[in-house]
Structure 1
Amino acid sequence: MKIGLFGYGKMGKMIERIATERGHTIVAKIDLENTNIPFEAMDVAIDFSTPDSAFGNITSCFKNKVPVISGTTGWLDQYDEAIKICKDQQSAFIYASNFSLGVNVFFELNAYLAKMMKGLNQYNVELEEIHHTQKLDAPSGTAISLAEGIVDHSNYSGWVLDKKAENSITINSKREGSVPGTHTISYGSQVDEIQIKHTAHNREGFALGAVIAAEWIQGKTGVFSMKDVLNLT
C-alpha cells in the first residue's frame, strides 16, 4: 500500500514507522510548505495535519480519488461539507477522534453502560481526561466523543468543561507530565460508584489504528467509522 502522509509531526513519524514495519511505502510527506502533491502515487492518505489545513488536504484527496483516514481535530465545522465532496467524488473517508483500537472498544462499552444507567436517576455521571502538558486544547476530542456517546443514550442534554450544570455531563480536564491519555467515566451515587477507564501507555496505539483503518478502506467507497473497521456495528 502506498501512503501519503499529511502532517509530519510526531504522529506522522510514528505512522511512517508502523506502516513501514507492516510492509507499506510512504510516497509523500506533506507539511504546510508542500505544494506539489503526488496524488497519483497514493493508494490512501493519512491526515494528522492542522485544523487550518485539514479540510483542504482532505477534499483535495477526494477530488483526486484518494481515500482519506483523518485524525485531525478542530476542523469539524466543515465536516458535513467534506462528506458531501467525498460522496460527490465517489471517494472514501474515515474520521475518528481517536484511532486506538482499545479506545474504540471503550466507546462501545461507554454507550452500552449509558443505556443501562439511563433509568437510574440516583447516579450522576462525570468524565475525567488526563493528558500531557503539551496538549493545550481541552477537553480532548476523545472525551467529547465519550460525552456525546452518553448523551445519545441518556437523559443528559450536553456537556460542560470543569464545572457543574443542570442536566449536563461534567468533563474534568487535567494536564500532567507526559501522560499519553487517560479517560475515566464515573457514575456516582450516595451509596456506591461505578467506573470504566481507558489508559493509553503510549501513542503507538493511535498510529497503529490509523494504519489498520487505511488497510481496511482499500477498494471501498463511502463514509465509514472505526466501528466499521473493527466490525463493532
Structure 2
Amino acid sequence: MNIALLGYGRMGKTIEDIAEKRGHKIVLKVSDDIENHDLSESNIDVAIDFSIPNAAFKNITTCFKNNIPVVSGTTGWLDDYEKARKICKDENSAFIYASNFSLGVNVFFELNQKLAGMMQGLEDYSVEIEEIHHIQKLDSPSGTAITLAQQILQENSKLKGWQLEDADEDEIPIHAKREENVPGTHTVTYDSSIDKIEITHTAKSRQGFALGAVVAAEYLKGKSGIFTMKDVLSDLFQN
C-alpha cells in the first residue's frame, strides 16, 4: 500500500516506521502546505493525517478532491468536521477520523460507553474525567477526553455537557494536566460517599496510536464512505 503522510513530526515518523515494517511504502511526506505537492504523480492509496489543527481541513479535503482516502488523527479542527464529511461524500472518497487511533483506547471507549449506561440510574455517583499528556500537546482537553465525555452524555440524559475544570452539577468536569514524557493517560471516575469506580487507559508510547492509524488505513483502502474505529475493530474481531 502506498501511503502519504500529512504531518511529519514525531507521530508521522513513528507511523512511517510501523507502516514500513508492515510492508507498506511511504510515497509522500508533507510537512508544509499540501498544495505545494503534486498528488496526481504519487499513486497514493491512502493518506494518514497527523498535521496541525489549522492545516488539517485543507489537507484532508485536498486529498478527497484527488480521490485519496484519508485517515485523520489531528485534533482541534472539528468545527469544520461536517464540511469535511460533505466534501468526502460529494467526491465519493473515504474517511476515518478518530480522536485516538490506539486499538486499546478504542476498546476503552467501548468499556466507557457500557459503564456509563450501567451508571446512569445510580444518582449517588458523580462522574469526572482526568487526562494527562506531555507538555507539547497543543489542545486541551484532549480529543480522547472529549470523546469519553460525549459517550457518557449519550447515556445520561441528566447531564447537559462538559467543562474544563470548573463544572456545574449537571456537567462533567474534565481535568487536563500536562507533564513531561506522558504519551497519554485517561481516567473516568464515578465517586460516591460509599465507594469509587475508576477505569483507566495508560499509553506507554506513541506506538499504539501509530499502529492503530496504519491498521485503519489498511481497512480504508479501496472503500468509499465515512467510517469509524468501531468499524475497524469489528473487522479485526471478525478476522
TM range (shorter): over 0.9
Tell whether the 8 Å contact from 2:69 to 2:94 is kept in structure 1 after alignment: yes
Match of 1:98 among 100, 105, 113: 100
Query: Could you give the per-residue CA deviations for residues 110-145 of structure 1, whole angstroms, max 9, x where no partner exists?
Result: 011000001100000011111112224211110011
> In 1, Cα distance between the equivalents of 2:33 and 2:162?
38
- The match for 2:38 is 37
TM-score by length of 1: 0.97
- The match for 2:90 is 88
> In 1, Cα distance between the equivalents of 2:76 and 2:189?
27
Shift of 1:39: 3.8
Larger helix proportion of the pair: 2
Tell whether the 8 Å contact from 1:130 to 1:175 is kept in structure 2 after alignment: yes
> In 1, Cα distance between the equivalents of 2:96 and 2:87?
14
Single out whichever of 130-139 and 3-12 deviates more from structure 2. 130-139
Matched, 1:230 2:222: no
Tell whether the 8 Å contact from 1:123 to 1:188 is kept in structure 2 after alignment: yes
Single out whichever of 16-25 and 28-37 deviates more from structure 2. 28-37
Matched, 1:161 2:164: yes
Tell whether the 8 Å contact from 2:69 to 2:95 is kept in structure 1 after alignment: yes
> In 1, Cα distance between the equivalents of 2:135 and 2:231?
33
Tell whether the 8 Å contact from 1:4 to 1:46 is kept in structure 2 after alignment: yes
Tell whether the 8 Å contact from 1:28 to 1:37 is kept in structure 2 after alignment: no
> In 2, Cα distance between the equivalents of 1:106 and 1:33?
35
**Residues 186 and 81 of structure 1: is their aligned pair in 2 closer, same or farther, counting only changes over 3 Å?**
same
> In 1, Cα distance between the equivalents of 2:22 and 2:96?
20
Q: How does 1:62-211 map to 2 (within 5 A)?
A: 62-154=64-156, 155-211=158-214
> In 2, Cα distance between the equivalents of 1:164 and 1:29?
42
Tell whether the 8 Å contact from 2:133 to 2:179 is kept in structure 1 after alignment: yes
> In 2, Cα distance between the equivalents of 1:178 and 1:112?
31
Structure 1: unaligned runs, 5 residues or longer? none
Query: Could you give the per-residue CA deviations for residues 58-107 of structure 1, whole angstroms, max 9, x where no partner exists?
Result: 11111111100001111111111111111111110000000000001111
Ranges of 4+ aligned residues in structure 1 off by more than 3 Å: none
Shift of 1:33: 4.8
Shift of 1:28: 0.3
Tell whether the 8 Å contact from 1:130 to 1:181 is kept in structure 2 after alignment: yes
Structure 2: unaligned runs, 5 residues or longer? none
Q: 1:151 aligns to what SS in structure 2?
A: helix
- The match for 1:28 is 28
Identity %: 62
Shift of 1:163: 1.6
Q: 1:128 aligns to what SS in structure 2?
A: strand
TM-score by length of 2: 0.94
Tell whether the 8 Å contact from 1:39 to 1:61 is kept in structure 2 after alignment: no
> Amino acid of the residue matched to residue 77 of structure 2?
W
> Amino acid of the residue matched to residue 75 of structure 2?
T
> Amino acid of the residue matched to residue 25 of structure 2?
T
